[in-house]
Structure 1
Amino acid sequence: MQKILIVDDDRTLRAAITRYLEDRGFVVNSAASGLAGFNSFSQEVPDLIVSDIVMPDMDGFELCTKIRNTDAGQLLPFIFLSARSELEDRIQGHTLGADDYLVKPFHPRELIAKIEAQLARADRIRFQIELALQNAHPRLGREKSPLPLTPAEEKVFWEVIQGYTNKKIGTHLFISPRTVQTHLSSILSKLELENRSQLIRYAFENGYTPLQNT
């Protein structure tokens, strides 16, 4: 399951976002300040961070800068969620390395859409990096073994390892996103994996690349 770190000094909002994300299958950690958020990141690197800007101890801008200066945080998806709506604030957020910026008040569905888009983008980047490494060092890839999947699941498998969202996979395969998720859950169970990121790594380590899907 993918892990999200929420950093915001508003306890009520933190709790509401946490419940909303957990109901949708995410594992959520939270912190009440930038400093606490950085400490949480240092102890366990999440898959994505959502952060307020105005907070005690360390603001969101400094938090983003410190995270981007670490090896683990250079490509980590980072979304600002702030009441500061001025153009200069949004520009500064992106300049410091944020991947997206959502202004409060917001609709939870928009936050989910931004989170899913950034996670999918991170998966695509990770896959391309691993594919480049495999092409540079062919011996890193192992000979493929047959996938223990149904034909429908295998089609979803090839789409997922390219970093596509459930909605886009559904469009490609002419099935609903809910059906895609059903197949994905079955794939993860059969391969004894927990999430999309692990599935992409499994594909890389076992010699599965889209170029071989012929």
Structure 2
Amino acid sequence: MKKILVVDDDLVLRKALTVYLTKRNYLGQEAGSGQEGLNKYESFRPDLIISDVVMPDMDGFSFCREVRSRSDGKLLPFIFLTVRTHLNDQEKVQAVGADDYLTKPIKLEELNLKIQLQLERAERINAEIVRLLQTRQTGSDLTAEEAEPPKLNSSDLTLDSPPESLPLTPSEERVFWKVIQGLTNKEISQHLHLSPRTVQTHLSNILSKLNLKNRTQLSYFAYQKGYQPHSQDQFQLKS
């Protein structure tokens, strides 16, 4: 049974959502703020999170950043609930690493569809990661020549350019490498001396050019293709 954490300061709404999820054969857990949600996340270990944006103690954006900062939360499906519909909020939802959002008042069938899609996507990603790890360990799906590569020193794996050329501008590439390191837009802006809005513009362009929807898919794309940032922004091909 999949576990879903509902985080919202509206007691009536989160109770109603928890009951609805139970009827849909999910195991629901609830929290009334971002901070409480973070505590429940640590103990409950959900398969998906549904969170409001405006909450006391810790808002939804900060909560999402905290989840994404943890190694087991980087690819966790995360859906926002918000009454806001203007562009800035939609950009921020993407910037903090959420996978999707719904505008209140919520249509339960639409929410259920988004939950199903995100859980199915997460299962596909996890299965592909397992397959890739097994392939690297056993050499399956490789030709005879590829199965026994020449021995290389670790320094031989360091490249002056990415494993494959990225269809990005130099500025977009610099943002790309910071994003797959798990940095937030604010952290990237500080590292690269750019405004957060400029970082978001570059990120939107990156996702568009790579035909991806969000940071989660970008992280998986980088893992699958072998992009791994090395120290001082050198590039290292995963062994």
Measured against aligned partners, the alpha-carbon deviations of 1:153-188 in whole angstroms (never above 9, x if no partner) come to xxxxxxxxxxxxxxxxxxxxxxxxxxxxxxxxxxxx
Q: What is the rounded CA distance, in whole Å, between the counterparts of 2:137 and 2:72 in structure 1?
A: 23
- 2:94 aligns to what? 94
For residue 106 of structure 1, report the CA deviation from its aligned partner.
Answer: 1.8
Q: How does 1:1-214 map to 2 (within 5 A)?
A: 1-138=1-138
Distance, in Å, in 1 between the alignment partners of 2:106 and 2:15 is 15
Q: How far 1:139 sits from its partner (Å)?
A: 8.7
- One-letter identity of the residue aligned with 1:83: V
Structure 1 contact 45–72 (Cα < 8 Å) conserved: no
**Normalising by structure 2, what TM-score?**
0.57
Give the Cα–Cα distance (whole angstroms) in 1 for the partners of residues 44 and 25 of structure 2. 18
> C-alpha distance in 2, partners of 1:46/1:113?
18
TM-score by length of 1: 0.64
The residue type equivalent to 1:103 in the other structure is T
**Secondary structure in 2 matching 1:28:** strand
Structure 1 or 2, whichever has the larger Rg, is 2
Q: Which runs of 4+ in 1 moved over 3 A?
A: none
Percent identity among equivalent residues?
Answer: 49
Partners of 1:106 and 1:98 lie apart in 2 by 18
Give, as a single letter, the amino acid of the residue that structure 2 aligns with 1:36. Answer: E
Q: Name the aligned partner's letter for residue 74 of structure 1.
A: K
CA RMSD of aligned residues (A): 1.3
* 1:96-140 residue CA offsets vs partner (Å, 9 max, x unmatched): 100001100121000000000000000000000000011111299
Consecutive unaligned residues of structure 2, counting only runs of 5 or more, are: 141-239
**Structure 1 unaligned residues grouped into runs of 5+:** 141-214
* Partner Cα distance (2:68, 2:2) in 1: 20
SS in 1 for 2:133: helix
Count matched residues.
Answer: 140
